[in-house]
Amino acid sequence: MSNISANNSDINTALGEEGLGKQTWWVEQWMELINSYRFKKRLERAWSYAREGNVTSIRFEGRRVHARVQGTGEDPYKIKLWLDVLSDEDWLYVLEALTQKARWSAQLLAGIMPSDIERAFAASGKRLFPFKLQEVRSECNCPDKANPCKHISAIYFLMGERFREDPFVLFQLRGRSRARLLSDLADQRRKLLDAIIRKKLKESSNYDYTKNLHEESSKAPHSAILNPSMWWKYEGNLNADLVVITSSVDGNTGLNSAGVLPLAEDPKYPNAQEKFLNHLHKEGEKFSQHAMIQAMSTKETI
């Protein structure tokens, strides 16, 4: 599981003076949980804690959130917050549903939470987003017996900001890190393609080639056969939901995929290998940026 942390200055920068402001729909849905809390005075105090720097640290470690909030005591209070994770069987249902729609995978890769993502979780009878505040588990070592207390509530506000930056954090709290989820999606996709191929092969074994060869030979050849250049053209309109232009995951270039390059070292030129590889990385980033600019250009059509 990946670890995500933020210090006090990062938190203040994220919140700013004006607060969270207009947010994406999935952040707003999360914030509705804490805004439904009936003790509004406690929420006002929590917001002040979040905005004024009382949250000294916040870490996303696997399925749990660990934070420290400076209250009226000498030492910061310790907070833990987590959601119920889905079982492996539940995740299997979710992955199968996600695989059925290429748009869901494409949007997630682009850092966008699909607006109908709960349909994928409905296949397992579970939810990605908590339905009510009581579904969010939390602990604080402050003397306040209420839960959530103002220290926990301050973390709710900051979690909303983190969800805006990376929707995969929600999946992580449900038991699947970004890397694990993408890897599982790729495996599930391969299984689906294998099943399609096996089905096609089975259908082809019952195909009457003699009969259909005669029928096909009586038809005029497809225009693409007469003009092979048509293979490289697509003049229809693509579904915008299926076209997502995004940079590579974690900023990797082709050099990262190639692995370790067996370059020789020369004593006359110390660190030459490292300098050469750094140069290749910079060139790869430059070409990647150029490709993104070309892909996003409105002067060209796909």
Distance CA 110, CA 128 (A): 18
Apex 115 CA angle, 122 and 240, nearest 5: 120
* Mean pLDDT in consecutive groups of 10 residues from the start of the chain, 302 residues: 46 45 74 78 87 90 90 90 92 87 79 84 86 88 89 89 82 89 84 80 66 63 72 68 56 63 73 80 78 59 38
Crossing angle of the two packed helices 102-109 and 88-100, in degrees rounded to 10: 100
Q: Which two tokens stand for residue 33?
A: 């949980």
Crossing angle of the two packed helices 8-15 and 150-165, in degrees rounded to 10: 70
Contact 64, 81 (CB under 8 A): yes
Cα dihedral sign for 26, 29, 33, 38?
A: positive
**Quick one: pLDDT at residue 142?**
92
Q: Which two tokens stand for residue 174?
A: 């449900």
**Quick one: pLDDT at residue 140?**
94
Distance CA 185, CA 201 (A): 24
Which strand ranges, in their side-by-side order, compose the sheet holding 77-82? 3-7, 55-61, 64-69, 77-82, 137-140
**Quick one: pLDDT at residue 188?**
84
**Quick one: pLDDT at residue 85?**
92
**Quick one: pLDDT at residue 229?**
75
Where are the chain's structural domains? 3-84+129-174, 87-125+177-206, 247-302
